[in-house]
Amino acid sequence: MKISFVIPAHNEEGYLAACIVSIQKALAAGTYDAEIIVVNNASTDRTHEIAASFVGVGVIDEPQKGITYARSAGYRAATGDLIANIDADTRLPPEWLDRVMKEFGRDKNKKLVALSGPFLYYDLPLLSRVFVKFFYGLGYATYFVNHFILGVGAMLQGGNFVVRRSALEQIGGYDTSIEFYGEDTDIARRLAKIGRVKWTFGLPVYTSGRRLKGEGVIATGARYALNYFWTTFFGRPFTLKHRDVRERSTFSASVVASPKEKKRGV
């Protein structure tokens, strides 16, 4: 299977390089058929130039601003059997790619249509990370009831999910009428009707908590929870607008470590 990494990027000059480096490191650890595509989404900074400076990275421009427009543009340009949606402020742990390929590789009947895991916020204080874990626990419990008992919806983390290209084609791709909130829940909800959508805490990625810092962990968590519920049961998000959160990164790509490495003190 070929995997296509699609990275939407709107004014991400402070984060994008570290994201690409983490993907390239994961690719270098094995023999994979893969491509990396950066979608320069209406940026006014050096996002395009930074992406283009990496050998082997494809760059496409999507002038219509919006995460679903960017994901759609990347999906159309991608040639892989699997589409890995990775946000520009996200870093892959070294073992992430191997876990993805094993999950899809052992699914001989192709019932698994999407795979996702949580965010680990590398720039939030300890108390905020505790609140995040609480929200993830609450979210998973809600997902379990909805999906396995009520038979509705599923759970994907935007910025950390992989989907089969054939499944994405079958459901008609991304809904570009959704601006931000609920876009991942919408994809999960529609994919769950045609196959298995798997959420696992064993597939984390590192990401920036800049939105949580800017808008508050509890307020942001509540807003995501509301839109997860609304999109699952009504097919549309409750919150129709969002605020851009951009800041220059101080995180070094060279310090990306796996959860196991962190436990060992690496």
DSSP, collapsed to helix, strand or coil, labels residue 106 as: coil
Average pLDDT over residues 79-104: 97
pLDDT of residue 262: 41
Whole-number Cα distances in Å, 200 to 6, 197, 250: 21, 10, 29
Instruction: Considering only residues 262 and 222, tell me which one the structure prediction assigns the higher pLDDT.
Output: 222
What is the per-residue DSSP string for 164-221?
EHHHHHHTTS--TT--STTHHHHHHHHHTTTSEEEE-TTS-EEE--HHHHHH-HHHHH
Q: How many other CB atoms sit within 10 Å of the CB of residue 95?
A: 16
Indicate the pLDDT class of residue 264, thresholds 50, 70 and 90. Answer: very low
What whole-number distance in Å separates Cα of residue 178 and Cα of residue 249?
Answer: 27
Measured N-to-C along each axis, helices 217-234 and 183-191 cross at an angle, to the nearest 10 degrees, of 40
Cα 204 to chain center, whole Å? 10
Residue 153 pLDDT > 90, yes or no?
A: no
Residue among 10, 4, 21 nearest 61 (CA): 10
The band of 246, judged by pLDDT with boundaries at 50, 70 and 90, is low
Dist CA 128 CA 181 (whole Å): 21
Using alpha carbons only, give the angle 237, 238, 239 rounded to the nearest 5 degrees.
Answer: 95
Average pLDDT over residues 146-157: 89
CATH of the domain spanning 2-241: 3.90.550.10
Q: In the predicted model, is pLDDT for residue 107 greater than 90?
A: no
Kindly state the average pLDDT of the residues 237-245: 80
